[in-house]
Amino acid sequence: MSYLRRLFVSHTEILEFLKFPVLKEIAIDVGPDENVLTHLEPSLIRSSCSLGMLSFAGCPPADATIQILQKFPSIRELAIIVDTVEDGARLTRFMASLTVSETEETTVVAPHLNRVSLGCEDKGYIDHDTFLKMVKSRWRAEHCALKSAAMFIDAGEAPMRSGFSELYEEGLDFFLAEGLDASEAIDFTSPKISFLGIVLVIDFSPRIFGKFRMRDFDFVYITFRCCLLHHPRDFIVSAFL
């Protein structure tokens, strides 16, 4: 998979079989109580890739996400979409961990992040005050690279705009979408599949997988259910292990 640049996986166990030296973006569908770090970290180390964007559908525990960001400083962009109350609570704890203290001398977590995008749908929620506090602290901190932030609110109460407007006037690239606009944006950017295209189911093994000419594709979606060609250059493979 020496030409693969974008990857989405629904089960991180499959990463044990993959090596992607030029991967730039990875999106992961996080299952309940799934330890993302267990499979993601060794895979990235083995691949020696310079990963630039990390996306989650669902929210891993805060400490696991922080470990990933600290161990792989090439990650500049982070996106998280939550759709359950539990994920919303984990997201709040994670945002608190990213917040830079104004009163204490503390180590800044992942100062290299320059864009943070959060979205919520169904029963998920984003604590707007915690998000604003986190963004403001990182935007104004001396050693943080944050330049852009986005929030997609599919349902629930809209955030107060005044705080974000202030940061926008200071130069922060901030984007807010609500309702249908947010839903459409989440559908477009979310790692979740929309089942359009040609369905193709294959038996998977590292031996068989190695026969595909990965230079012909720049995006791979790996799931344990089915595979489909999303676009002419999108290759999606099913895994039966």
Domain positions in the chain are: 52-192
What pTM value is reported for the model?
0.76
Is pLDDT above 70 for 75? yes
What's the pLDDT band for 1 if we cut at 50, 70, 90? low
Q: What percentage of the chain exceeds 90 in pLDDT?
A: 41
pLDDT over 60 at 204, yes or no = no
CA distances from 152 to 14, 61, 121, 122, 177 (A): 30, 21, 9, 12, 5
Of the listed ranges 9-18, 75-84, 103-112, 174-183, the least confidently predicted one is: 174-183
**Measured CA distances, 74 to 35, 49, 118, 177 (Å):** 21, 9, 20, 28
Q: What is the pLDDT of residue 232?
A: 32
Give the C-alpha separation, 201 to 226, whole Å: 6
Backbone angles phi, psi at 170, to 5 degrees: -80, -10
Q: Cα separation of 87 and 69, whole Å?
A: 19
pLDDT exceeds cutoff 60 at 145 = yes
The pair of three-digit structure tokens given for residue 157, joined into one six-digit string = 């109460």
- Give the orientation angle of helix 128-140 with respect to helix 85-98, to 10 degrees: 20
The predicted-structure confidence for 113-139, as pLDDT tens digits, reads as follows 999 999 888 788 899 999 999 999 999
Task: Please enumerate in sequence order all residues whose Cβ is within 8 A of that of 128, keeping only pairs 6 or more positions apart, or say none.
Answer: 151, 157, 159, 160
Residue 123, classed as helix, strand or coil, is coil
